[in-house]
Amino acid sequence: MQAQIIDMKKTVLFQPGFTLVEVLIVIGLTTVLLGVIAINLVRPQSSNSVEVTATTLVADLKQQQLLAMMGDNGSQSTAQPHGVRLAANSYTLFVGPTFAASTNQFVINMPQGITISANSLPLDIIFTVRSGETMAVSGVSVTNTSGDQRSLTINRLGVINVN
């Protein structure tokens, strides 16, 4: 009987496997590692969405400028200026000498969490017929909630710079 008890103690003491402390340490380290990875993956996505939104805005500005330079009249009988009206959460492409007088408007909404800021909003950028010139514009920014920002400037000839 005495030999059986000693034999049982040996088998209990040397059983292969992990202790509760070892398992908890591995789970804790895994949680910390996954947390760091998740944080580092979210930041580039938000920065990328600002970049994509600014690129899309610049492409739409250039398209409106080209349409004005070509004299695209759409449904009008004479060539019309083309423009873009910037607001905080959207921008509008329009045809006409002013936003109020425009007959053809197309609204593009900003993605959630991204805003446009400028010295005064709404801001109308109107490209003249044939030359594509406009007033000089600076201080326009595309920003997200985490602070990533792209600044736009447009000179009087319509050249757009993004910083």
Mean pLDDT of 122-145: 91
Answer whether residue 137 shows pLDDT above 70.
Answer: yes
Query: Considering its fold, how many domains does the chain have in total?
Result: 1
CATH number of the domain bearing residue 140: 3.55.40.10
Per-residue pLDDT reduced to its tens digit, 37-93: 887 776 665 567 888 999 999 999 999 999 999 887 666 668 889 999 999 999 999
Range of the domain at 150: 18-162
Given this model, what pLDDT does residue 3 score? 57
Establish if 5 belongs to a structural domain. Answer: no
Exposed/middle/buried for residue 67 (C-beta within 10 Å: 0-12, 13-18, 19+): buried
The model scores a pTM over 0.75: no
Is 83 within a domain? Answer: yes
Whether 3 is covered by a domain: the verdict is no
Give start and end residues of each alpha helix (H) in the chain.
2-13, 20-70
1 in a domain, yes or no? Answer: no
Does the residue 93 lie in any domain? yes
- At residue 49, the pLDDT reads 85
